[in-house]
Amino acid sequence: MSVLKCEHLSKTYGAGDSLVKALDDVSFSVEKGEFVAVTGTSGSGKSTLLHIIGGVDRPGSGSVYINDTDLHSLTEDALAVFRRRNIGLIYQFYNLIPVLNIDENIILPSLLDGKAKDQNKLDEIVSYLNLNDRRNHLPSELSGGQQQRVSIGRALYTEPMLLLCDEPTGNLDSKAGKEIVNLLKSSNREYGQTVILVTHDESIAKEADRIIRIADGKIISDERGNI
């Protein structure tokens, strides 16, 4: 069964001479457990696509189904709850809360959802991320790669159906970037997470099972590789 189905997604910005077709009739589906890279040059529509899939932006037309839920038919309030429970978002700049330590950052979205802290799960994730000796540190006391690992932990803790990553390695050197991709790959395998990774870095995209290339808001190729 498809975890994600995008049907005829379009999105335009501006009007008249300044009209931009950020997405132009994009359709594809992703099966449970797939690790998909979305790649394309700057301005091709990658982030727009990811934001619409993640429910942080609405399409101009078309539909997104996550499992069987028609995401954009939900009200704003229902969408916010659905997103918090089912979608993990990881960005280039980690968006951690500066006054909270690693543990607190990881469990925050779940606490906001009214759930009790699950100490065993937290311990497992922190060791999995290899951050045991840093747990009480604030984000400002961590390297970029470590901060990105915390943001992955925050996304994994809620056990989302879909992990969406927008240039997660964009702010890191190639070694730290590679470590982050390996971590995403192993969470894809070990936690059965479905991952969509946006990157303009070809060497990172090649790590995925499948590469969707977009240009001018359209899918120009969709290839399965290293399966």
Ligand X SMILES: Nc1ncnc2c1ncn2[C@@H]1O[C@H](COP(=O)(O)OP(=O)(O)OP(=O)(O)O)[C@@H](O)[C@H]1O
**46 or 213, CB closer to ligand X?**
46
DSSP type of residue 56: S
**107 or 163, CB closer to Mg ion?**
163
Return d(Cα 96, Cα 215) in angstroms, integer: 31
**42 or 75, CB closer to Mg ion?**
42
**51 or 134, CB closer to Mg ion?**
51
* 225: partner contacted, choices ligand X, Mg ion, none (Cβ within 5-8 A by kind): none
How far out from the chain centre does Cα 118 lie? Answer: 23
Asked if 82 and 73 count as a contact pair (C-beta separation under 8 A), the reply is no
Q: Residue 110: which residues within 8 A CB-CB, separation 6 or more?
A: 117, 118, 157, 158
**18 or 120, CB closer to ligand X?**
18
Q: Tell me the closest approach of the beta carbon of residue 57 to ligand X, in angstroms.
A: 9
Residue 140's SS3 state is helix
Q: Tell me the closest approach of the beta carbon of residue 94 to ligand X, in angstroms.
A: 16
Under the rule (CB under 6 A), what is the footprint of ligand X? Answer: 13-14, 20, 22, 40, 42-48, 200
Is position 47 an interface residue for Mg ion (rule: CB under 5 A)? yes
Looking at residues 177 to 206 of the shown chain, list those that interact with Mg ion (rule: CB under 5 A).
none
**18 or 140, CB closer to ligand X?**
18
The piece of 25-33, 40-48, 54-62, 112-120 that touches Mg ion (CB under 5 A) is: 40-48
Asked if 63 and 70 count as a contact pair (C-beta separation under 8 A), the reply is yes
Q: Tell me the closest approach of the beta carbon of residue 154 to ligand X, in angstroms.
A: 22
Q: Tell me the closest approach of the beta carbon of residue 46 to ligand X, in angstroms.
A: 4
Return d(Cα 72, Cα 7) in angstroms, integer: 12
The piece of 6-14, 47-55, 76-84, 175-183 that touches Mg ion (CB under 5 A) is: 47-55
* 154: partner contacted, choices ligand X, Mg ion, none (Cβ within 5-8 A by kind): none
Residue 85's SS3 state is helix
Q: Reading across the β-sheet that carries 87-90, which strands appear in turn?
A: 87-90, 162-166, 194-198, 35-39, 210-215, 218-224
Q: Reading across the β-sheet that carries 61-66, which strands appear in turn?
A: 20-31, 2-13, 61-66, 69-70
Give the pair of three-digit tokens for residue 26. Answer: 């994009």
Summarize as ranges the residues that interact with Mg ion (CB under 5 A).
47
